[in-house]
Structure 1
């Protein structure tokens, strides 16, 4: 888990003292403190660090995050519809109730994060890792996942019409699928997980198990 001083752009960071704005272009900003319920649509964050920033209820619709780092950020109930994320780390952050509908994530790492009720409907996730996270009631309906992994994470997902390719669930510490079990096609699971998921898999194909 990288610290602020480990970032390759750490020496160029400058504290942001002004409020976040629509269509803002933030390059090398260190963002901390209170930024709740702001409207920050169509903004761009490049080589930024967001540390202990409270962003509850903020609207990041169609905003682009690139080469950026979040630590202890509160992104509860944020709107990030159609946002774009590339080469981003989110560490020990909270995304409860976050709306990432139609978002595009590539080479993004979530580590130690809480994603209760996060909505990734229609999102595209490529080379994304959820490490030691809690994903409870996470909605991936219509999402496309490619090379996504969940090491050490507790996973509870809704998977209606989800597409999976090279999705690795083998190191997840618990898997619950609330709906859309057939959408697990294309995922990798362990033998132990296969036994745990057997009742759901059987029910999904109408297989009756009787002793």
Structure 2
């Protein structure tokens, strides 16, 4: 059951120099730069991005990239491929991500705030100490190792827990219309209202008939 809040480590970025699209590329080490207003889709596969800020940048691929103490603001990504990426102490705010593919990624100490997602794919990902505040989703795929995750003022049409390993996951601040994989919800905390909404589905899952 839910015991611990996500552990979010505060950080403050130092003074940053201006970054340019040419600084970003596959396998590059990039640090202490502020990238702003880049409309051309950014491909930064295998890059190491440390103490950077991205504002109004179009991101497309971050496969196997490492982001350490970075801030992402007003990011536009119709389809973001971040499979295998490592995000440690990262803040993502006021961003729109259509398809966010974090399959086999590792997220540790990440905050998403005022973000809108189509599909958030966390299948086979390792997710620890992550907070979602005022976020909207069409579908969340929790099919990975999810630990100490919380939601506040957030909503999703579908919450897919099939194949998930959940521990200390607080769903009380997440409105959901449909849940897949009820059997994998062990390790979550829900509200009494959410329980009442799930009662019929849970009964059907357990083979319990409800008299009318």
Q: After TM superposition, is the score higher than 0.5?
A: yes
Q: Secondary structure at the match of 1:127?
A: strand
Quick check: 2:11–2:69 contact (8 Å CA) kept in 1?
no
RMSD: 1.7
- Greater CA deviation, 18-27 or 84-93? 18-27
Correspondence for 1:84: 86
8 A Cα contact 1:135 1:157, kept in partner: no
Cα distance in structure 1, aligned partners of 2:36 and 2:204: 48
Uncovered stretches (5+) of structure 2, i.e. residues with no partner:
1-9
2:114 to 112, 115, 124: 112
With a CA cutoff of 8 Å and minimum separation of 6, indicate the structure with the bigger relative contact order.
Answer: 2
2:57 aligns with 53
Q: Across the two proteins, how many residue pairs are aligned to each other? A: 201
Establish whether residue 21 from structure 1 lines up as the match of residue 25 from structure 2. Answer: yes
Q: Give the equivalent residue in structure 1 for 2:73.
A: 71
Out of 165, 168, 181, the position equivalent to 1:166 is 168
Q: Give the C-alpha shift of residue 95 in structure 1.
A: 1.8
- The 1:52–1:37 alpha-carbon spacing in structure 2 relative to 1, beyond 3 Å, is closer
Residue 146 of structure 1 and its aligned partner are, at CA, apart by: 0.5
Alpha-carbon deviation of 1:35?
A: 5.2
- Write the distance in 2 (CA, Å) between the matches of 1:171 and 1:118: 17
Normalised to the residue count of structure 1, the TM-score between the two structures is 0.89
User: Any gaps of 5 or more consecutive residues in structure 1?
Assistant: 1-5
Q: Distance in 2 between matches of 1:41 and 1:17?
A: 17
